[in-house]
Amino acid sequence: MSDLKELAESQSPIDPENETKRGTSTSSKSDRKRGTLLTLWLVLIIIANALETLLIVLRIRPLPSSVPLWASYTLNLDAVLVVVSAIAMLEWKKWGFYMFCALEVLGLAVNLIAGAGVFAFVGLGGIAITYLLLRSSWNLFE
């Protein structure tokens, strides 16, 4: 019992890394709390894009013959990079959100050029949902 008391007394209230009192430092990585919906949404983005790419590459779900080959390659690369951007958002990186937005706009352009019609605008909904889920924790991102 005296060992515990000595240990408690020997611990300094000052954190040697940033010399601030415990509990008063700005949000460290361990203090960050991501909402459940945001986490689920980002995991869904990762799974959906990885699966889509895999299915197309393995030709289990080939794109329609009306889609040009360049568009197919571009959309596959886009899906892979969307996975990277979602992982970056899980790692609290702002650039992941910016990259995600740029890739969704690129996907919109490619889909419109390839003749996807109204379906091309689905990605913009993904930007809106991601933004709505991120905005409350945006200040925690690096």
- pLDDT 10s digits, 56-81: 788 776 667 777 888 888 989 999 99
Distance of CA 70 to the CA centre of its chain: 26
Phi–psi pair at 14, nearest 5 degrees:
-100, 130
pLDDT digits (tens, 9 = 90+) for 8-64: 455 444 444 444 444 433 456 667 888 899 999 999 999 999 998 898 788 776 667
CB–CB of 119/111 below 8 Å?
A: yes
pLDDT digits (tens, 9 = 90+) for 87-126: 999 999 999 999 999 999 999 999 898 888 888 898 899 9
Q: Which long-range contacts (CB under 8 A, 24 or more apart) does 119-122 make?
A: none
How many CB atoms sit inside 10 A of residue 45's CB? 22
Phi–psi pair at 25, nearest 5 degrees:
-75, 160
pLDDT at 27: 52
